[in-house]
Every structure is written in C-alpha cells, then in structure tokens.
Structure 1
Amino acid sequence: MTNAIGTTEADRALKAGHRALWAQGDYPSLAAELIPDLGRILVEASGLRPGDRVLDVAAGTGNAAIPAALAGADVVAADLTPELLRAGRRLAEERGAVLRWQEADAEAMPFEDAAFDVVLSCVGVMFAPHHRAAADELVRVCRPGGTIALLSWTPEGFIGRMLGTLKPYAPPPPPGAQPPPLWGDPEHVEALLGDRITDVSAERRTVVVDRFATPEAFRDYFKQRYGPVISVYRANADDPERTAALDRDLADLVRRHDRGTGAGTVVEWEYLLFTARRAT
C-alpha cells in the first residue's frame, strides 16, 4: 500500500528531524497571519464538490483542509508533525469544520490506492525531502480521473530565495534530498508526475505580505516562528560571527524584495498553483 521510504534507520532519523523542525517556533500563527487565504485559493482551483473525498497532504494546521471541509467535502488532513495537527484541530473546531486528522508521512501514506477524489497540498508536500517518492504517493492515492492540486513556493520567489539564503549556514542535506522550491517549477512537477497526469494547469501568482515595519522586524518574526529559519540559527548558535552574518543576509534579502514606499515593508511572495487530473 505504501512505498519503502522511511523504513531504514537513516530515513526514520530524517523524518524525526522533520517533525522536530516544524514543531519548533509557531508555524500555526505564521500561517494564520501571513498566508490565511492560500488554502482557500487552492481549494477553489481544485474544483472540489460537496461529498468529494479529499486528502490534504502535509496539511500542517489545515490551511487547505479546513476550507475544503467547509465546502462540504469529506476531508482527511495528514501531516508528519503531531503538534501541527493538534493546532489544526483547534482551528477547525473554532470554525465549525468537521474533518479527520491523521499523522502520516507524505512519502509513505497509510491510505489505500485511489482512495481520494481530490489530493491537495498547500506549501506542504514541497518540504518532503524525496520528491519522487512524494509525487508517487500523490498519484497513488488519487483515483483515476481525480484531481491533484498543489500550491508551492517558487525558486525565484521570496521564500525560495530565503531558503537559498539559509543554505550556506545550514548543515548539508541528507543524500537524495532535493530543495523544496523545485516544486514551484512546473517542469519539475510535470517530470515527477509524468504521463500519469493530464489536463495540466500551472499558474504563477503572488501573495502580498505588508505587516512588518522594517526588514529587521520581518527577519525577527521568522527567527521566532518559522522552523527552517529557527533550525539554521540553532545550528550556528555557537558562532556569533556567522549568526550576525545570517542576520544581515536575511534583512538584506527582505530589503531587496521590498516594494514599499517607506511606510513599512511590502514583499510579494511568488507561488505556483498547479492542478492536473490523474490519467485514467
């Protein structure tokens, strides 16, 4: 029913590290404050209908799963990190959404073949380290003729650039791991899914983030809340010079992308909205 990713000791250690990475900081507040509408946008693009069986892969706190449930779908929100699922349950209860929450690895999901009409992921599956394995699972659990809908940060956009800025300060990735922003490249996604999909649509869009007064405030917000940034700072905690250099590089990145006119920062984050049907 699932592939073999995650069965070796090295894979289990890698996944444990991913759980810990996303459990630190406060990703639930970041998602709610900065990108609250992305899940709804993905749900609308998927064309799901009331009664559809929907899986949100690497769902986090349910940015897509909750609006899908509110639209009348029968939804499962799956994620590797229990802390995010618990936060998602609370949000769903507050909004009156009924859905199922399940701990699951995007590269080896505990669901039957062709179990879902719609398979979604909103800036989630892109962070699974083994892209081919994750793509195979997206296809496997989607029924023939069903929809796969993905929203991912692009390599050229702000988050892609931020992850690139972190890379020189981060420990080397494990063998076989691929950079998350590749999921924002339509050619990469089509190559992963291959002839198993039809009716492809790939559109670049942006979300505007304008709540920070300065680049430094922007940077510090991510230092406190965003797991990938927190993890890299912790890796350099014993080196004040590298930490200071990382501080400068992240603030400079925001400054380069700032489209504001002086009254606070205005940064556009580019993402790829990708939809397709599983071939019959």
Structure 2
Amino acid sequence: MSSTVDPFSELKSRQRDMWASFAPTAAFTTPVAAHLVDFAQVKPGETVLDVGTGTGVVAITAARAGASVTGLDLTPALLDVARENAQIARLATVQWFEGDAENLPFPDGQFDVVLSQFGHMFAPRPDVAVAEMRRVLKPDGRVAFATWPPEHFVGRMFAFVGKNSPPPPPGAAPPPQWGSPGTVAERLGDKFEAPFFSRGIMHFPALSLSHYREFAERSMGPMQKLMEASAEEPERLAALRSEFETLAAPYYSANMIRMEYLLTRARAR
C-alpha cells in the first residue's frame, strides 16, 4: 500500500465515472467469469481477491465454488450492484471494497489467488499493478485474469475510441496490451513463474449492428463518453456511428457479436 501522490488520480477519477453505467454489459460476462474461475483452479477454502470486480460476477462465481472472496473496484455504483447480486445469490460473506488496483488496501501475503476479469488491464501502470497483485499473494499464490487482445474485436474497439478521443496522460499503458501473451509474460517478469495461456470467446447477442451500437453507447463507458463528446456535432456523430458499425460487422453473425479473450494463469515465485 502506497501513500505517495498518484500522478494518475485525475485519470482514475474519470474511469470511476466512466464505468458507472457498465452493469448491463457486465451481465454478458457471466459465462467468462465461470471460465476464468475454472481456469484459475479456485478451490474450496482458498482466499481470493477479485480486482476490478465490477458487479461481482467473478467474485460471486468464486464464492459459489467455496472460496473466501473479496471484491475490489474503483466505481461505487458497480459495487452497489455487486452487493445486491451477492444478496440474491445468498453469499453474504463476500467482502466488497472501493479501491485501486495500483494501491490495494490489503496486507502482504493475504490471498491464495488474485483474479481479474477485464479489470486490472485499465490500471495505467502495469508494473505497479503487477507488483501490488504479487504483494498481496501468499508465497505460493497465483494470479489469473481475462483480457482483451488488441487484434480482436474489443481491442480494436478500444483503438477506435482512442484515436477519436483526447490522448491519455503520458505514461498510461493502453489496456489491450494486456491481451498479448508476450507482453503479459514480460510484465509478470521475475515476480511469477512462466505464465500459462488459454483463450475463449464471449458471444454478445444483438438483433442488428445498430442494436449493438445503441447498447454500447448506453452501457460501455468508453463508447458512451466518445458519443456524448460528439453529441453537438451531428456529422461527426453520424460518421463515428457508421465507422463503429463497419468495425463490428466482421464479428457479427447469427445475431451475435464474437468477442475473443485471452486467459492467463501464473504462480508466484
């Protein structure tokens, strides 16, 4: 846990606000959560931290597998949904914390497993996030996470948003870099053993490309903010919407958007 001034505090404040509308999208990641928890080999009785828990889909899945689970997220609005989901699932023992992947509010060596599903990848400094995940793990603990590769649809969507938005602060790493196995192995470095990788596909139902775009504009923070920023420029807004649908078209068939993700698992050194 660090007490130094965070140079990315303004960025994180924007992220906290940006993801507040994410709950409807999070529901579609529920099958991925099961894949991640199984891939991580979570066992009954293990202590698990879910970083970037959002609405708690991974945390609750791990708790249903018998683990003792803590979920952490930057965005209070998502944690409210997580608490409600845990109550519905009758899992009152899950603990929820508002917090930052780069400054985890937990003592050294507390957890058997640290998980993250499309969460820690938005921390601007990968080296800091990795160091924090390793710090809170037990000596023989392990990390497992799901990320979006840059070459597939969601990674390309982030690139689309990035090129049409103000640049991030200097030194902030693009989130989809966490979807490249070589980059992941390099970042885990000497803190973890060589990582093991797998892949999966998330299918997102949509009646048409326009339906998917409309949903993204309401419930996917980066898209929502981009379109809001263009609301007073009708021609630019129309061009962005057209470009987005063209980007999504190759991944759309049988009323589904195909979203490929990368899974990583590594044991602490």
> TM-score range, shorter-chain basis?
over 0.9
Confirm whether residue 181 of structure 1 aligns to residue 171 of structure 2. no
Of residues 115-124 and 163-172 in structure 1, the stretch that sits farther from structure 2 once superposed is 163-172
Please name the residue that 2:78 is paired with: 84
Task: Check conservation: 1:169, 1:236, Cα contact below 8 A.
Answer: no
Residues 239-260 of structure 1 show CA distances to partners (whole Å, capped at 9, x for unaligned) of 2222111100111112122233
Structure 1 counterpart of 2:256, one-letter code: V
Structure 1 distance, partners of 2:201, 2:120, is 19
Structure 2 distance, partners of 1:154, 1:184, is 4
Task: Check conservation: 2:213, 2:244, Cα contact below 8 A.
Answer: yes
Please name the residue that 1:190 is paired with: 185
Q: Secondary structure at the match of 2:30?
A: coil
Q: Calculate percent identity across the aligned residue pairs.
A: 39
Confirm whether residue 18 of structure 1 aligns to residue 15 of structure 2. yes
Alignment partner for residue 136 of structure 1, among 108, 128, 131? 131
Structure 1 distance, partners of 2:48, 2:138, is 11
Task: Using the TM superposition, give the Cα deviation of residue 130 of structure 1 relative to its aligned residue in structure 2, in angstroms.
Answer: 1.7
Task: Check conservation: 1:224, 1:230, Cα contact below 8 A.
Answer: yes
Task: Using the TM superposition, give the Cα deviation of residue 266 of structure 1 relative to its aligned residue in structure 2, in angstroms.
Answer: 2.6
Please name the residue that 1:146 is paired with: 141
Alignment partner for residue 53 of structure 1, among 41, 47, 53? 47
Where in structure 2 are the equivalents of 1:164-175 lying within 5 Å?
A: 164-175=159-170
Q: Secondary structure at the match of 1:176?
A: coil
Describe the shift of the 1:167–1:11 C-alpha distance in structure 2 as closer, same or farther (beyond 3 A): closer
Structure 1 distance, partners of 2:202, 2:14, is 29
Alignment partner for residue 272 of structure 1, among 237, 262, 266? 262
Please name the residue that 1:225 is paired with: 219
Please name the residue that 2:37 is paired with: 43
Please name the residue that 1:243 is paired with: 237
Q: Secondary structure at the match of 2:151?
A: coil
Please name the residue that 1:120 is paired with: 115
Of residues 100-109 and 129-138 in structure 1, the stretch that sits farther from structure 2 once superposed is 129-138
TM-score computed with the length of structure 1 as normaliser: 0.92
Task: Check conservation: 2:251, 2:259, Cα contact below 8 A.
Answer: no
Residue ranges of structure 2 left out of the alignment (5+ in a row)? none
Structure 1 counterpart of 2:163, one-letter code: P
Structure 1 distance, partners of 2:18, 2:257, is 25
Structure 1 distance, partners of 2:2, 2:190, is 20
TM-score computed with the length of structure 2 as normaliser: 0.95
* Alignment size in residue pairs: 268
Confirm whether residue 2 of structure 1 aligns to residue 22 of structure 2. no
Task: Using the TM superposition, give the Cα deviation of residue 267 of structure 1 relative to its aligned residue in structure 2, in angstroms.
Answer: 2.3
Structure 2 counterpart of 1:136, one-letter code: A
Structure 1 distance, partners of 2:191, 2:117, is 21
Structure 1 counterpart of 2:81, one-letter code: A
Structure 2 distance, partners of 1:39, 1:266, is 19
Task: Check conservation: 2:153, 2:260, Cα contact below 8 A.
Answer: yes
RMSD, matched Cα: 1.4
Structure 2 distance, partners of 1:167, 1:130, is 17
Structure 2 distance, partners of 1:241, 1:171, is 19
Q: Secondary structure at the match of 1:198?
A: coil
Structure 2 counterpart of 1:113, one-letter code: D
Structure 2 distance, partners of 1:270, 1:115, is 32
Please name the residue that 1:28 is paired with: 23
